Copies of this chain bind each other. A is one copy, B any other.
Amino acid sequence: MVRIDGRDYDELRDVKIIRNYLKHPQGSVLIEMGNTKVICTAMIDDKVPPFLKGTNTGWITAEYSMIPGSTVHRKFRDSTRGKVEGRSQEIQRLIGRSLRGVIDLNLIGEKTIWIDCDVIQADGGTRTASITGGFVALVDAVNWLYKKGEIKQIPISNFVSAVSVGIVDNSPILDLCFDEDYRASVDMNVVMTDDNQFIEIQGTGEKSTFSKDELYKLLNLAEKGNEKLVSKQKEVLGNISKLIGKDKEGEVHG
């Protein structure tokens, strides 16, 4: 099978992660997966949602949006429509759950870390890029707290990344671009940690159903892709990487 952009079936698109992309947030990256480009920021707020007040526990909340110029046909703003569309809500709930899965929120105190993922160019895989990039922004924001002395360790137990896999023309492939995604009969997003555990799996037979055998093949591809994404995250985070999952041998966070 020949892919539209010449990639092998198990090959990621070019990945770029630029840290400190913006001036104001405590963490901010521009992540590019081929033509997909997402600005991920992490900002710290000294308030928590009502259900956490007085618990000495923090929170991570994520928001996801696409700018109107990010798509082929102009994307209408949720603000103009007066509500956040279902798809965006689903994605931001996924991002939040994925990142909360590897951080011990008891250790950051009553703070909310806002993860904002603003897609500036979309070519498939924007939600998985948001998780992969959002993780790096989160680490930078938590590290900012650590350097200021507000927390005593980086309470993050694992690296988290996400990638899409799917079945196109009966072949399982890794990291679908928009044209592939559009033609896929099965589409799956897989969020994993750096020790090959799953945080979330969402697979849908968009145009047909799929068998257990096909599922296993897709999961193997996702594993391979996520390993490479974590390598990239480690590369750009440099020395900070070593502070993550520090106490894994001892008590496990999260």
Each complex incorporates copies of this chain amounting to: 6
For residues 81 through 127 of chain A, which have their beta carbon under 8 Å from a beta carbon of chain B?
81-84, 86-87, 89-90, 92-93, 97, 101, 114, 116, 118, 120-123
Which of the 9-residue segments A6-14, A201-209, A231-239, A241-249 touches chain B? A201-209
For residues 71 through 85 of chain A, which have their beta carbon under 8 Å from a beta carbon of chain B?
71-72, 74, 77-84
The reply to whether the CB of A55 lies closer than 8 angstroms to some CB of chain B is: no
The reply to whether the CB of A153 lies closer than 8 angstroms to some CB of chain B is: no
A122 to chain B: which residues have CB within 8 Å? 24
CB-based contact A45/B63 at 8 Å: no
Chain B CB within 10 Å, residue with most, of A24, A86, A209 = A209
| Given A43-B69, A201-B203; 12 other pairs, CB 8 A cutoff | A22-B69, A25-B69, A41-B68, A41-B69, A78-B79, A79-B81, A79-B83, A87-B93, A90-B93, A197-B209, A199-B204, A201-B215
Q: Give residues in A with beta carbon < 8 Å to B.
A: 22-25, 28, 35, 39, 41, 43, 45, 63, 65, 67-72, 74, 77-84, 86-87, 89-90, 92-93, 97, 101, 114, 116, 118, 120-123, 158, 188, 193, 196-206, 208-212, 215, 219, 254
